[in-house]
Structure 1
Amino acid sequence: MRYYVTRGPVSLLMAALCPLALTAVLLPWRGSLANTNVALLQVVVVVAVAALGHRLAGATAALSAAVWFDFFFTHPYEQLTISNSSDITTAVLLLLVGLAVSQLAARARRFQVIAVTDAGYLGRIHDAAALAHSATSAHAVADHVCAELVDLLELRGCRFEYGTLLGHPPRLEYDGSVTTGRRHWDADRLGLPSEVELRVFGNGRYVGRFMLDPTPGTIPSAQARLVAVTLAGQAGAALDSTLRQVETL
């Protein structure tokens, strides 16, 4: 529900109506309010819409604010014409400032999302590293990283295979790219192909691989794929260490 109000089609309707609603509230004081003050109040509405919605919603609110300001607060009233040059300047500035702040609000929100996302990725890496140093069971490490990969890459499933490589499935490479055979797979546009291997190395030795079962229609970001590779790397040293202990027994 929240998506439709802040990001979906409803957000555009709300963006168009909010400046009109403010206009209706201010209209009884049209004779006593300076037009510059009305324009500033409309800018506040545009900023609020852009902060809660998205870039297009902010632009829609800016255009709506300029239109209703012209229609109800400039002479001649209730016509989309302006006779006073200062009102023309105010209306143009209202539109331009509204568009500018909507872009800035959208960009600020994007940076906030990136910061939160990055913090989440760092948390996953930290947890995997802590488990890798403290776990005494290779299975515990493999199971933990599998669960993290399922959540991170929105997989249907994941399993860890020890030892010998079997077949030549598509592979998630160390740089986050995906290859099928000798060809590059456009994971940014197509998502992950059918079952993908993520090889795990510990102290330079091949340990095994995570077999990733993608969910059709999902497209994990390049950043998420890089974090997945990092998680596999964190697991590699712990898996190699525990396997060597088993070999010496």
Structure 2
Amino acid sequence: MRIRLRDAVAAAAALFAPFAVALALVPVRADVSHTNVALVLVVVVVAVSALGNRYAGALAALSAAAWFDFFHTVPYETLHIEQRSDVETALLLLVVGLAVSQLAARARLLGGVAVADAGHLARLHETARFARFSTSPDDVAAHVRQELVELLGLRACRFERGSLLGHPARLEQDGSVTVPDWVWDLDRQGWPEGEIELRATSGGHYEGRFMMTPVPGAPVPPLEARLVAVTLAAQAAVPLDAPAPVGSGG
């Protein structure tokens, strides 16, 4: 019963919290950029996801995108958008909101602040924009590789496409690290030696992997940073999974 009650509360919050926040920001919409409004609404999505489940998070993401459109794009108080930049921001709000809602629902210990750090949100937002408009999947992979180096404090990182070779340690979707035959205790043991694999998948399809080399003896980044890294890798996989343009060679 407790779980059903919590999920019911989360569903109600998913519907009303984005509305309340978007409405509260109306008096300052002339002074606050649309990107910052979108980031605030993503924080609301994360909070709802941490309270409830992934379905509540997805509903919150849809609600946030709709109320952002209604209150903060011209013409106001309609679901019509005139400016292309506003369309892009609304779509990115929805995509990033859905992504971080799944992360927060997967690990509720993030609470309402896990991915709410402005730096993490900005990193996800900018990478989603880069992936959406880049014409080269390799450029997207290179962009994500650099983001991973900065986010996780890595000594080096490279991207591999193609089949899997070897059995390196792996950064999993839940932010944990596994090595062959057991789960690695990051808090007690730190990063394992050698390269660590982070797979890039899209729609369940493996597209490649980032091979990350931590700085020896460096502290392990917090869970929220590792979960953001997982999302960045998934963003890199999307253009790699896209069908080749008609008329391309092959």
Normalised to the residue count of structure 1, the TM-score between the two structures is 0.50
Deviation, 1:138, is 1.2
Aligned partner letter, 1:237: V
C-alpha contact 1:162 1:207 (8 A) present in aligned 2 = yes
- RMSD between superposed Cα atoms in Å: 2.2
Amino acid at match of 2:238: A
- For 1:171, the equivalent position in structure 2 comes to 170
Match of 2:226 in 1: 225
The offset of 1:192, in angstroms, is 2.0
Q: Where do 4+ consecutive residues of structure 1 move more than 3 Å?
A: 114-117, 244-248
Counting aligned pairs with the same residue, the percent is 56
**Alpha-carbon distance between aligned partners in 2 of 1:247 and 1:235, rounded to the nearest angstrom:** 24
The gaps in structure 2 that reach 5 residues or longer are: 1-112
Of stretches 202-211 and 160-169 in structure 1, the one that deviates more from structure 2 is 202-211
Q: Distance in 2 between matches of 1:145 and 1:185?
A: 25
Listed as ranges, the gaps of 5+ residues in structure 1 are: 1-113
- For residues 119-198 of structure 1, the aligned pairs below 5 Å read 119-193=118-192, 194-198=194-198
Q: Indicate how the Cα distance of structure 1 residues 120 and 163 shifts in structure 2: closer, same or farther if over 3 A, else same.
A: same
CA distance in 2, matches of 1:190, 1:224: 18
Verify the 8 A CA contact 2:177 2:186 in the aligned structure 1.
Answer: yes
- For residues 93-112 of structure 1, what are the structure 2 equivalents within 5 Å? none
Task: Tell me by how many angstroms 1:222 deviates.
Answer: 1.2
Deviation at 1:115, TM superposition (A): 8.6
CA distance in 2, matches of 1:246, 1:170: 38
Q: Deviations over 1:210-232 (max 9, x none)?
A: 00011111211111111100111
The structure whose residues are more often helix, as a share, is 1
Q: Which has the larger radius of gyration?
A: 1
C-alpha distance 145-116 of structure 1, shift in aligned 2 (>3 A) = closer
> Alignment partner of 2:117: what SS?
helix
- For residues 185 and 214 of structure 1, the distance between their equivalents in structure 2, rounded to whole angstroms, comes to 15
Post-superposition shift, 1:238? 1.6
Give the TM-score of the pair, scaled to structure 2. Answer: 0.50
In structure 1, the partner of 2:206 is 206
Change in 2 beyond 3 A, CA 1:190/1:131: same
Task: Name 1:21's counterpart in structure 2.
Answer: none
Give, in whole Å, the separation in 2 of the partners of 1:215 and 1:159.
15
- State the match for 1:241 in structure 2: 242
CA offset digits 1:175-199 (Å, max 9, x no partner)? 0000001311112233321210000
* Count of residues paired in the alignment: 135
SS at match of 1:161: strand
